[in-house]
Amino acid sequence: MRVHAPVPGRVLELADVPDQVFAAAIVGPGLAIDPGPDAEAVTAVAPVAGRVVKLHPHAFVIVAGSGQGVLVHLGIDTVELAGDGFTVHAAEGEEVTTGAPMITFDPVAVAQGGRSPVCPVIALDGGAEQVHRLAPAVVAAADPLFDWT
């Protein structure tokens, strides 16, 4: 399954994410994207086609027809914002296509609030050996990010 970048920015290895749980790949393997210090009003898009099974203002999970689930977390510790500064464009239970708008947020405001705007993209229940990076150093939203075999 090909997983696409939900947001534009600089691609990071999970080990470089400023969160111990994501950095240690405890949630699962994947990559992360740093939208950068000047990115305002970024709309995160669906990295795969499938059903939205979890949707919070700061994160979402889409399960593809294959049963593989992809988690996108918009920033680190952004759950503490209780949805402030996030606009949700999808609904739990909805079927979405790759590239469909999911959530708009402001990485600058996240950073100004003392949180990291880095966005982990996780292959839930995947093994590290199953994730194969496709992305160059910088991606646009919906560019290929990794293949999950």
What residue segments make up the domains of the chain, in order of their start?
Answer: 2-148
What does the longest C-alpha to C-alpha distance in the chain come to?
A: 39
Give catalytic residue positions: 73
56 has pLDDT over 90: yes
What count of other Cβ atoms lies within 10 Å of the Cβ of residue 101? 15
Report the top-level CATH class of 2-148: mainly beta
Answer yes or no: pTM beyond 0.95: yes
Specify the 3-state DSSP secondary structure of 22: helix
pLDDT value of position 55: 98
Q: What is the layout of strands, in order, in the sheet containing 42-45?
A: 42-45, 101-105, 86-88
Task: Count Cβ atoms within 10 A of the Cβ of residue 26 and give its class: 0-12 exposed, 13-18 middle, 19 or more buried.
Answer: exposed
Q: Using one digit for the tens of pLDDT, what is the confidence trace for 83-122?
A: 999 999 999 999 999 999 999 999 999 999 999 999 999 9
> What pLDDT, in 10s, does the model give residues 37-53?
678 899 999 999 999 99
